[in-house]
Amino acid sequence: MPNIVFTPQDMLIKTNLHDRPLYYTGYIGDVKVDRMHIDPGSFISIIPKGLLHHLRIPMHRLTPTSTAIGGFNSGRSYPIGKIRLKCQIGDLHSEVTCYVIDTDTSYNILLGRPWIHDYMIVPSTLHQCFKYVDKYDFVKTEFADIDPFKGVESYYSDSCLYEKSKRYLDEGDPQTHTETATGSEGPLTIHL
């Protein structure tokens, strides 16, 4: 298996002076979904009930759960159920078990440690990307959204983190790229 490394060239924002979380646009099933939040600090993956309605997933498909979700204030809440969903971000096709909560959130889906570990993803909030090894042993890089909050969504507290760091964005929009290790010559980078 090749090594996963991050270099200065992987930085979406050309400075470390930002506090951005990782937000992506991808698909759940065949529906395009923005504000997919990758959070290595979360022990579960979460989806708000409102997005299930948008995805046209009936509530009877939920599996009951007794899992409690702890918040930053040590309070506990209980999801209304859990569901397994097909998820795609860039070239990464995956499945994720999500706990459904009945509340508004700044994200449409939160992808936590179980999903991150299942697909051996290495996220970097500093670089604003994640890397993983695909089935062909290529290291793939998926860059986060530059501006995940639009219009009426700008009231979310996370949106201010994007306004502060916009001035550091480089010209152009980085694309997905792949790398693979090749003997003693070190990593070979192929930009697509």
Confidence of residue 10 (pLDDT cuts 50, 70, 90): very high
CA-to-CA distance for 26 and 50, rounded, in angstroms? 17
CB 60 within 8 A of CB 80: no
pLDDT of residue 159: 54
Q: In what order do the strands lie in the sheet with 129-133?
A: 122-124, 129-133, 139-143, 177-181, 187-191
- The reported pLDDT for the residue numbered 148 is 85
Residues 6+ apart with CB under 8 A from 147: 162, 166
Question: pLDDT tens digits, residue range 17-57?
Answer: 988 999 999 999 999 999 999 999 999 999 999 999 999 99
Place of tokens 């409102």: 50
Residue 162: strand, helix, or coil: helix
> Domains of the chain (ranges plus CATH)?
8-191 (2.40.70.10)
pLDDT surpassing 90 at residue 141: yes
Answer yes or no: are the C-beta atoms of 48 and 104 closer than 8 Å: yes
Determine the Cα–Cα distance for residues 136 and 118; give it in Å rounded to an integer: 17
For the full predicted model, state whether its pTM sits above 0.75. Answer: yes
